[in-house]
Amino acid sequence: MRGESRRNVLAGLGAATIAVTAGCSVFDRSGEAEPPRLDTDEIERIVRDPVPETERPAPLQPDEASIEAGLERCAELIDAVPATITTEEIPNGVVREEVGSARESALDGREAVEDAPDRFRSLVALRNARADAREASVAYRAVGTDLHTEIEAERLAARGDVGARLARTSYAGDERDRTLLVAYRIEELLVDARRRMNWGSRPPDPGALDVGELAGDVEYAAATLDAVDALADRHASVAEEAVDFTATLESALESSLRAVSRADPPSRESTVEDVLGREPDRRDVRELAHEAIAPVRRWQQTLSTELSEGRLATGISRAIEVERDVRALEAVVDRIDGSLPEPDGSEPIRSERTAIVDAAEAAPISPDDRSLAGDLTARALERLAWIDRSLAGYVERGNDARLAREYAQYVHLRAQLEALPQAVEAVLARLDTR
């Protein structure tokens, strides 16, 4: 690696003043070298060796009663809508079909709850099943009846409940790693519900389907609140001598902010040229640079937001991610400055993919570990499966393709996985030193 480039990554990009448009490339793409197209045989060769399916670790298993209560609620809502809706009940054919379709989705969702591999996943799946069921039942009831005011009031109340529950997240438990994972998943579920209720605009003259959708969002929030209460109750019941980690997490998060700040990683204003010292002349390198810089750029906002809003478990997870991504960026710059092979055939790409699997297998962190580190490992492997699906898509469709982007994604994911253990160690050390 050229010293200049490493300095750029680690020690200051203060001179960078070129404005960056969020989400857009900052490259001049003229004259850029494109990799050759690979045929489907070559693409298939890259993903021929399957990787084991990975699921994020369940933090704990809630009581069976919480699943049964959710299924009962689901059944009650589904039963409120006839299996066959007549034209007398809903004269508008599109509305009739949509309500029937929502009911079908609820039935499928209920099946997914029953078929889930464990109670944690059943609990999570209940959110969509209940949302679909209420969407159908309220849309059905809203035909010829104005329910909008009533449901909108429910939405506002539920949004307040979700915010209040988020503020009450507990960081107490007898195992630190498990406690962090439980709290992280609780925060994640609540933020997801809040986002869903805030998402989108509300039509000024909502019809039955609009009101149904709104009710579905409210039910999703209600199911989420039930789920997090079930998780929190279960966690509290298994903790024999609970320790409150709140102050430790706050302190570690503040330390992480200071530590990352000292490293002075690329900021929102940093360009790829600032980091690499030049503009890439290969498309795959441009893709790779973008892939590696993008998650680092917003580190300060990411960590500060979690800290100021008090989502401490999410903050610690984000701190690990930032530490990982800064290290991954260093590794990527090293490889770009060194001799990153061109993706001119299946072999260089396959090799990167294999290295990801090897890194996952060699890592001291298993994706099954009930910890933030295990969760991050599992999410990395989910990302691998996602990239694989992109390649499989080319094969299924019989399309040749240039794999510059997918190659860049593999290279970056490898760097992330290889950096993860050190990142975990750095952040957890801040928890230990308090």
Partner 1 sequence: MPALHATRRHLLSGIAAGMVAPLAGCAAGEADDVDVRDEIRDPGSELPDGATTDIEIRSLRAPDEEPFVRVADEDEPEEEGPSRHRAQAFVLDDGDAAALRIDGDHDAAEEILRFVEATDFESASVVVHQRGIEACYERRVEYVELEPDRYRVQFCRQLKDATEHCEADATEIEAVFLRVPQPYDEEPSRRGSGERSACRHYGEESA
Interface residue list for partner 1 (CB under 8 A): 87, 90-99, 101-105, 128, 131-132, 135-136, 139, 142-144, 152, 156, 198, 200-204, 207-210, 212-213, 216
Pick the closer one to partner 1 by CB: 196 or 311: 196
Return the bridge partners of 33, or none. Answer: 282
Q: Six-digit token pair at 230?
A: 């079930």
User: Minimal distance in Å, beta carbon 131 to partner 1?
Assistant: 6
Cα(105)–Cα(109) distance, integer angstroms: 6
DSSP string of 27-50, one letter each residue: ---TTPBPPPPB-HHHHHHHT-SP
User: Minimal distance in Å, beta carbon 76 to partner 1?
Assistant: 18
Pick the closer one to partner 1 by CB: 49 or 76: 76
Pick the closer one to partner 1 by CB: 135 or 352: 135
User: Minimal distance in Å, beta carbon 220 to partner 1?
Assistant: 9
User: Minimal distance in Å, beta carbon 90 to partner 1?
Assistant: 6
Pick the closer one to partner 1 by CB: 100 or 367: 100
User: Minimal distance in Å, beta carbon 267 to partner 1?
Assistant: 30
User: Minimal distance in Å, beta carbon 152 to partner 1?
Assistant: 7
Q: Which of left, alpha, beta for 319 (phi over 0: left; psi -120 to 50: alpha)? A: alpha
Pick the closer one to partner 1 by CB: 99 or 293: 99
Q: Is 313 in contact with 187 (CB distance < 8 Å)?
A: yes
Pick the closer one to partner 1 by CB: 65 or 94: 94
- What SS3 class is residue 401? strand
Pick the closer one to partner 1 by CB: 81 or 183: 81
Cα(417)–Cα(380) distance, integer angstroms: 7
The pairing of strands 172-173 and 243-244 is antiparallel
Pick the closer one to partner 1 by CB: 206 or 374: 206
Nearest to 285 by CA among 72, 34, 109, 14: 34
Q: Is 211 in contact with 139 (CB distance < 8 Å)?
A: yes
Q: Is 33 in contact with 283 (CB distance < 8 Å)?
A: yes
DSSP string of 287-353, one letter each residue: HHHHHHHHHHHTHHHHHHHHHHTT-HHHHHHHHHHHHHHHHHHHHHHHHHHTTPPP-SSHHHHHHHH
User: Minimal distance in Å, beta carbon 142 to partner 1?
Assistant: 7
User: Minimal distance in Å, beta carbon 291 to partner 1?
Assistant: 28
Q: Six-digit token pair at 61?
A: 């298993």
